[in-house]
Structure 1
Amino acid sequence: MPELPEVEVVRAGLARWVLDTEISAVEVHHPRPVRNHAAGPDDFVARLLGVRILDAVRRGKFLWLTLDSGEALLAHLGMSGQLVLVPPDSEPERHLRVRLGLAGGVPEREGRELRFVDQRMFGGLSVVPLVPTPDGGPGGASERAPEPLVPQPVAHIARDALDPSLDEEALVARLRRRRTGLKRALLDQGLVSGVGNIYADEALWRARLHYARPTETLTRPVVRSVLAECRAVMGDALRAGGTSFDSLYVDVNGSAGYFERSLAVYGRAGLPCLRCGTPVVREQFMNRSSHFCPTCQKRPRNARW
């Protein structure tokens, strides 16, 4: 599933090419990807036709386009969702679900289409109201000055580790009060957003901490170091265009990311740890997997899952 770096790469591409364009045409090719638009596909189309795109914003793994109608086009990529920009006469993608015609904006993108392609259809689009952010700060990542607004379905999502408005000391205190395993806490989008399975494993390897380390045993400096490693690994992934294991994740131009080449433990079960040479271990965790080095990341005797 795309995590923060992959979604940020998509958001940045949208910010470059679709701001100040008008949505001139809307086609819904399958109802499932607009299932979260409660009023149905016809209303989804009606709310988008003729509106102008003002900004592209991201919080955690969610991104949205703010519209001059006062609403937002909210996108969640799910497992395989893609937002791609193509010429309008391009052949329809095999798993094309929604297409938006764009007019105006950057001259070289005049007449382009923004298409939502989703093989597995766990992702989706919806037009939703904007509400004030709980802390009064900016809604999320954006090149423009984002307003203190977020889409209503995203209001409960915490700020992410790369957000300049994140109150790190408050996050450190909240995490230390939890009585759970460290990785489970990092994956809690109500605590800190954007960290998924890949980057949690990578950050914990960098921090030399086991994923089941009890959060209540962590000192403040240790928690701050884990958050720093989360920022570092996601920053590295951003510079590499994200992590693509297959064709399901691409940027708005259809290009894959190449951070997979730099992964230290995720997906490397049985291969030598890049630090000490011990074979990397893969274990089942929360209906997914955890990858770690059993030498560099000692399992605590009081492990919490």
Structure 2
Amino acid sequence: MPELPEVESVRAGLARHLTGRRVADVEILDPRPLRRQDGGPEAFAQALRGRVITGAARRGKFLWLPLDDGRALSAHLGMSGQLLVRGTAAPAAAAAPGAPLSPPGESPPDLTATRAPSLVRDLSSHPRHLRIRLLLAPRPGDSPGGAALDLVDQRMLGGMRVTELVPTLDGAPGGQGSPEPLVPADAAHIARDLLDPALDWAAAVARARSSRRAIKTVLLDQGIISGIGNIYADEGLWHGGVHGSRRTCALSRQAVERVLRATGGVMERALAVGGTSFDALYVDAEGAPGYFARSLAVYGRAGRECRRCGATLRSEVIGGRSHTSCPRCQRRARDARMTRAGRPL
């Protein structure tokens, strides 16, 4: 399932291509992704026709497109969902952080060599597993075939719906890309994520430590910290030096915060290269995959050497989910050493 870096890559692309665009019409090729829409498919189409998309926002793995009538088009990608933009005029590329500005009258420098390679997937006019298509009102520079936003979903475990926006519980902005203190009603229960500037770190650590569950399971709980899935949970635990089976309540505050900070750091590095893609299902809004898979330390590497100590990585199941760890760098509870102060790691 796409996790925070992959969903954020999609959100950023949607914001570039769709902000200010008007929905001209809606084509529903398969109504199943609209199973949670009040009023069904016709209500969905009617709610979107003529509406202007005012931005793109995200909290954890949850996406929404605010609309000019105060509601939002919310979307969850599930296991295989893709939101693909096609036919829009190419937005201006943002300058790289710290890049010098060009003198007046001169062309900007060519930064192509500094970007990750782009492998564009199937962006044909009728891709396989196309379920919903939003036709966009034409603009100069759009392709002759018109511009659209497509929901492509092979397994259809995600979905879309038009929903009301409700105030955030803490009064802070709803999420990345949203300055307003609003979230979709169906996302109000989702906790803030590790890359959210409004995250209360002390409260997040306290919530995690209040659980008697394994820390791997707690990291996957979207009501405690959102956006983390199996990939970044394993990576964060390895970087934080904690085995996923350790009970969170038995860990020190410092250890839990270390794991959360490490997980956030991994996701930031993944986001810089578009996230982690293993196959054609994990692509951004323009159809390009991410390149972080080549940097993974433990996920998917069971039986190979630990990048830190050389021990053979092991895989097991914790709370119904696979967990890859290093037996030397990440001690299980019965093997965990005590600090000099006699406090648990």
The alignment's TM-score, normalised by the length of structure 1, stands at 0.95
Query: Residue 277 in 1 paired to residue 310 in 2?
Result: yes
Contact 1:265–1:273 at 8 Å: present in 2 too?
A: yes
Give the aligned partner of residue 98 of structure 2: none
Task: Name the structure where strand makes up a greater proportion of residues.
Answer: 1
* Cα deviation digits, residues 70-123 of structure 1 (max 9, x gap): 111001000000011113994301100000111257x54474111000001101
1:127-142 alignment to 2 at 5 Å?
127-142=162-177
Contact 2:6–2:274 at 8 Å: present in 1 too?
A: yes
Query: Shift of the alpha carbon at 1:176?
Result: 1.6
Report the secondary structure of 1:54's partner residue.
coil
Report the secondary structure of 1:276's partner residue.
coil
Number of equivalent positions: 300
Report the secondary structure of 2:186's partner residue.
helix
Query: Residue 235 in 1 paired to residue 268 in 2?
Result: yes
Give the aligned partner of residue 197 of structure 2: 164
Contact 1:214–1:302 at 8 Å: present in 2 too?
A: no
Counterpart AA for 2:291 = Y
> How far apart, CA to CA, are the structure 2 residues paired with 1:259 and 1:90?
26
Query: Shift of the alpha carbon at 1:287?
Result: 2.9
Give the aligned partner of residue 122 of structure 1: 157
Contact 1:213–1:302 at 8 Å: present in 2 too?
A: no
1:1-305 alignment to 2 at 5 Å?
1-87=1-87, 90-103=124-137, 107-109=140-142, 111-142=146-177, 146-301=179-334
Q: Which runs of 4+ in 1 moved over 2 A?
A: 87-91, 107-111, 285-288
Highest Rg: 1 or 2?
2
Contact 1:205–1:265 at 8 Å: present in 2 too?
A: yes
Structure 1: tracts of 5 or more residues without a match:
none
Report the secondary structure of 2:127's partner residue.
coil
Identity of aligned residues (%): 56
Structure 2: tracts of 5 or more residues without a match:
89-122, 337-345
Contact 1:160–1:193 at 8 Å: present in 2 too?
A: yes
Per mean C-alpha deviation after superposition, the further-off stretch among 7-16 and 80-89 is 80-89
Counterpart AA for 1:254 = G
Per mean C-alpha deviation after superposition, the further-off stretch among 44-53 and 173-182 is 173-182
Query: Shift of the alpha carbon at 1:299?
Result: 1.0
